[in-house]
């Protein structure tokens, strides 16, 4: 299990798509989305110090396989700002997992460089990655367009358990596996939620359209969803983003903590994090 406190511009929280409707496709192949996005209190930690040449060192429990060269979104973000720093990234989130780890790291780099240089982040961060605008905002939002159209959303804090079965799912391949690209959007405006129970009841009527193609590519996602649905107090279980990370929502934080403990005992190879989404 992993647990981190949520503070500072270098904190790169996990992004969770509580819903993810694919409503169309642009001429350039990118898909139009309608998604409720929330952020966890688990995440990576990025630090930066001024340096004449950009560099990156990655360490931490999920560092294996994460590139330290120009392929890393942290260095791509620095290049987009025309700024230089020596970065250290403490990696706690699994990569290629549907929780925007790389995007959240890139957003943290933009925040840190902005504070360091006084420059504003780029006007179109979606050019770096569709999830980067919402990760720059790092608070609950309705996300539309390909990810660049954002409206802040008031969500009650939602106790949750995140689970990744340690298989990587490439985002582009999951979009390519969609049977339909013109699915219905969410209602507009969205309802308001006074408490977790109301929010969960609404979310249960919505979808993640990427779930069927991701489950086809990685059947272990079915096993994760079944295990989450069997947990005491789990009110809703669903996949985030293009997978394979799934989440269960609870009405009470203690139930999420206990559920994560039970699951970690039964599945020692899975990445499991109790959290609160907001
Ligand atoms: C699906 C989502 C939902 O939040 O999350 P993840 O599964 O990545 O966490 C995001 O839209 C992913 O955003 P991000 O991971 O930044 O994607 P990008 O690097 O921009 O694009 C990777 C590939 O995904 C496809 N893509 C991505 C976003 C989008 N709106 N339409 C697409 O078709 C494209 O094939 C693109 O080449
Ligand atoms: N800082 C980073 N952390 C993790 N992966 C990164 C990072 N920068 C670039 N990548 C590359 O981006 C790919 C997608 O990673 P990630 O953003 O974690 O996935 P997802 O978009 O599914 O949430 C990985 O396969 C990895 O090679």
Give the model's confidence band at 269: pLDDT under 50 very low, under 70 low, under 90 confident, else very high.
very high
Helix (H, G, I), strand (E, B) or coil at 214: helix
Q: Which of 77, 55, 52 is nearest to 68 (CA)?
A: 55
Q: ipTM of the predicted structure?
A: 0.97
Give residue for tokens 């367009």.
145
pTM over 0.95: yes
Q: Is there a binding annotation on residue 221?
A: no
Question: Is 182 one of the catalytic residues?
Answer: no
DSSP letters of 87-147?
EEEE--SPSSSSS-HHHHHHHHHHHHHHHHH-PPPPS-GGGT-TTHHHHHH-S-EEEETTT
Positive or negative, the CA dihedral 17, 212, 183, 203 is: negative
Q: What is the DSSP letter of 184?
A: -
Helix (H, G, I), strand (E, B) or coil at 209: coil
Question: Is 15 one of the catalytic residues?
Answer: yes
Looking at residue 6, its pLDDT comes to 61
Please work out whether the CB of residue 103 comes within 6 Å of at least one atom of ligand 2: yes
Give residue for tokens 């539309």.
144
Among the listed residues 15, 41, 91, 105, the single catalytic one is: 15
Please name the residue whose Cα sits nearest to atom 24 of ligand 2. 96
Mean pLDDT across the stretch 100-104? 97
Strands 21-25 and 271-277, how do they pair?
unpaired
Give the model's confidence band at 5: pLDDT under 50 very low, under 70 low, under 90 confident, else very high.
very low
CA distances from 42 to 1, 81, 155, 178 (A): 10, 27, 18, 30
Please work out whether the CB of residue 74 comes within 6 Å of at least one atom of ligand 2: yes
Looking at residue 98, its pLDDT comes to 98
Pocket perturbation via mutation, ligand 2, pick of 102, 105, 167 by most ligand atoms within 8 A of CB:
102
Radius of gyration of the chain (CA): 18
Ligand 2 centre from 11 Cα, in Å?
16
Integer Cα distance of 135 and 196 in angstroms: 23
What tokens were used for 112? 């840190």
33-69 pLDDT tens trace: 999 999 999 999 999 999 999 999 999 999 999 999 9
143-177 pLDDT tens trace: 999 999 999 999 999 999 999 999 999 999 999 99
Ligand 2 centre from 250 Cα, in Å?
28
Return the bridge partners of 163, or none. Answer: 246, 272
Looking at residue 4, its pLDDT comes to 38
Helix (H), strand (E) at residue 264: helix 253-266
Integer Cα distance of 278 and 276 in angstroms: 7
Integer Cα distance of 247 and 36 in angstroms: 14
Cβ neighbours for 234, distance < 8 A, ≥ 6 positions apart? 161, 228, 248, 249, 250, 259
Q: For the chain, which domains are there?
A: 11-145 (3.30.230.10), 154-277 (3.30.70.890)
Q: Is there a binding annotation on residue 240?
A: no
185-205 pLDDT tens trace: 999 999 999 999 999 999 999
Q: Is there a binding annotation on residue 101?
A: yes
Q: Which of 81, 115, 106 is nearest to 15 (CA)?
A: 106
Please, what is the average pLDDT of the chain? Answer: 96
pLDDT at 110 over 50: yes
Ligand 1 centre from 172 Cα, in Å?
7
Looking at residue 2, its pLDDT comes to 37
């Amino acid at each position: 299990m992993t647990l981190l406190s949520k503070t500072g511009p270098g904190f790169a929280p996990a992004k969770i798509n509580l819903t993810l409707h694919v409503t169309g496709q642009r001429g350039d192949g990118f898909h139009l989305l309608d998604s409720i996005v929330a952020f966890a209190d688990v995440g990576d930690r990025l630090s930066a110090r001024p340096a004449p040449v950009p560099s990156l060192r990655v360490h931490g429990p999920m560092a294996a396989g994460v590139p330290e060269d120009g392929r890393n979104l942290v260095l791509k973000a620095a290049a987009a700002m025309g700024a230089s720093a020596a970065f250290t990234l403490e990696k706690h989130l699994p990569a290629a997992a549907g929780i925007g780890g790389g995007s959240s790291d890139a957003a943290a780099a933009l925040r840190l460089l902005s504070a360091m240089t006084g420059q504003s982040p780029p006007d179109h961060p979606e050019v770096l990655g569709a999830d980067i605008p919402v990760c720059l905002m790092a608070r609950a939002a309705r996300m539309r367009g390909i990810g660049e159209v954002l409206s802040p959303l008031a969500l009650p804090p939602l106790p949750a358990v995140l689970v990744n079965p340690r298989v990587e799912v490439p985002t582009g391949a999951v979009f390519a596996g969609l049977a339909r690209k013109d699915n219905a959007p969410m209602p507009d405006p969205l309802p308001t939620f006074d408490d977790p129970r109301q929010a969960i009841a609404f979310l249960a009527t919505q979808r993640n359209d990427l779930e069927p193609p991701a489950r086809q590519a990685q059947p272990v996602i079915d096993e994760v969803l079944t295990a989450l649905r069997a947990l005491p107090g789990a009110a809703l279980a669903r996949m985030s983003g293009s997978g394979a990370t799934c989440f269960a929502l609870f009405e009470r934080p203690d139930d999420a903590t206990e559920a994560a403990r039970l699951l970690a005992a039964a599945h020692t190879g899975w990445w499991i994090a109790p959290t609160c989404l907001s």
